[in-house]
């Protein structure tokens, strides 16, 4: 048993280095094939990074469920402050901000440019507004609706505004994008399989003479197929490396403009790239596709070659 394991390891080591040597011997063809594989892998990897970043961004938005409470215009500033304190004391409310009617008026004057017209008015037409953020992240609205209904019943409150439709739409759009990316990734994985399968098929036929000789001297099917499987491994591994470089370089190019854009929205969002974990996934998937693609090709073509 020990002897057979030793033979198996020796033959694997031989096929491992031999296939690497073959890869290096034909650099132009192999590099071109690897680049095509790399681009095919870079698309799903890039899509994944894009999706990951969108999800991180939307997660921040999830926590920004904001309810605007417009207090009755008869409510004085003191009463508004008491109401705000009462809201702050609630366990289901995380944050409460009071925008008093005076603050609202001065802000409107500043933004609208109608300050002269507003000065003519006898009374301040703006109500006191209380902005609250619930503690829960309630995208399905059930808890939020309960809270809004409870608030509406309070006598100090004129009206309550809550609109999370845009957030719901975004969540659904992200779900659709996820599905599209999944379908594209599957299609591109099939493309990688076909590219590697076809490359190995050509390699098998260009080594036809060698395969016949090996069979004549007692080479088993597994011995003969091993270098081709390792070739698939090299294509998958080097293709993944190219995909990683393409995605990382693209992120580097995009990171500064995106940072500048996010700053305009008072956000310090930064692009997240492929971490160690996702880089290892990329390489694992690339290698698996490489070996599987070559295995399919070997199964299909190698056994049809017999010495004559």
Partner 1 sequence: MIQFTNVFMTYPSGNKALQNINLSIEKGEMVYISGRSGAGKSTLLKLINLIDRHARGQIIVNGQNLERITRKRIPIFRRNIGFIFQNHRLLDDRTIFDNVALPLIIAGSNHQEVKRRVQAALDKVDLLSKINSYPMELSGGEQQRIGVARAVVNRPAILIADEPTGNLDPMLSWEMMKLFEQFNQVGVTVLIASHELDMIKHMNKKIIILNKGRILDSNNENKELLKN
Tell me which residues touch partner 1 (CB under 8 A).
Answer: 6-8, 10-11, 14, 25, 209-210, 212-221, 223, 306-308
- Nearest to partner 1 of 14, 90 (CB atom): 14
Give the three-state DSSP class for 35: helix
Task: For the CB of residue 214, give the shortest distance to partner 1 in the complex, in Å.
Answer: 6
- Nearest to partner 1 of 17, 114 (CB atom): 17
Task: For the CB of residue 42, give the shortest distance to partner 1 in the complex, in Å.
Answer: 33
- Nearest to partner 1 of 158, 212 (CB atom): 212
Task: For the CB of residue 196, give the shortest distance to partner 1 in the complex, in Å.
Answer: 22
Q: How many CB atoms lie within 10 A of CB 198?
A: 13
| Whole-Å CA distances, 37 to 17, 226, 304 | 22, 21, 27
- Give the burial string for 122-132 (b: 16+ CB within 10 Å, else e): eeeebbbbbeb
Task: For the CB of residue 217, give the shortest distance to partner 1 in the complex, in Å.
Answer: 4
- What is the length of the chain? 308
Residue 150 to residue 155: CA distance in whole angstroms: 11
- Nearest to partner 1 of 166, 217 (CB atom): 217
Tokens standing for residue 215: 């069979």
Task: For the CB of residue 190, give the shortest distance to partner 1 in the complex, in Å.
Answer: 32
- Nearest to partner 1 of 3, 155 (CB atom): 3
Task: For the CB of residue 230, give the shortest distance to partner 1 in the complex, in Å.
Answer: 15
- Nearest to partner 1 of 143, 215 (CB atom): 215
| Angle (nearest 5°) at CA 20 between 17 and 24 | 135
Contacts of 58 (CB under 8 A, 6+ apart): 167, 170, 171, 174
């Amino acid at each position: 048993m020990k002897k057979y394991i030793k033979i198996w390891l020796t033959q694997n080591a031989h096929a491992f280095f031999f296939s690497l040597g073959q890869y290096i011997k034909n650099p132009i063809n192999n590099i071109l094939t690897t680049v095509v594989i790399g681009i095919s892998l870079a698309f799903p990897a890039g899509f994944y990074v894009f999706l990951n970043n969108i999800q991180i961004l939307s997660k921040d938005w999830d926590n920004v469920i904001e309810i605007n409470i417009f207090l009755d215009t008869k409510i004085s500033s003191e009463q508004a402050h008491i109401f705000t304190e009462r809201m702050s004391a609630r366990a289901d409310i995380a944050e409460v901000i009071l925008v008093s009617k005076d603050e609202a008026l001065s802000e409107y004057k500043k933004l609208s440019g109608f300050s002269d017209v507003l000065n003519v008015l006898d009374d301040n037409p703006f109500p006191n507004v209380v902005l609250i953020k619930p503690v829960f992240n309630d995208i399905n609205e059930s808890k939020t609706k309960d809270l809004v209904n409870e608030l509406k019943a309070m006598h100090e409150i004129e009206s309550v505004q809550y609109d999370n439709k845009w957030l719901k739409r975004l969540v659904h759009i992200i779900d659709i994008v996820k599905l599209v990316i999944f379908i594209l990734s599957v299609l591109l994985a099939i493309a990688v399989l076909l590219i590697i399968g076809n490359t190995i098929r050509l390699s098998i036929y260009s080594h036809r003479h060698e395969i016949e000789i090996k069979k004549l001297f007692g080479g088993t099917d597994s011995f003969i197929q091993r270098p081709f499987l390792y070739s698939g491994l090299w294509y998958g591994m080097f293709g993944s490396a190219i995909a990683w470089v393409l995605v990382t370089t693209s992120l580097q190019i995009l990171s500064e403009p995106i940072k500048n854009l996010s700053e305009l929205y008072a956000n310090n969002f930064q692009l997240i790239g492929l971490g160690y974990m996702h880089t290892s996934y990329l390489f694992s998937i690339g290698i698996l596709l490489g070996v599987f693609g070559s295995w399919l090709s070997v199964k299909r073509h190698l056994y049809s070659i017999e010495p004559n």
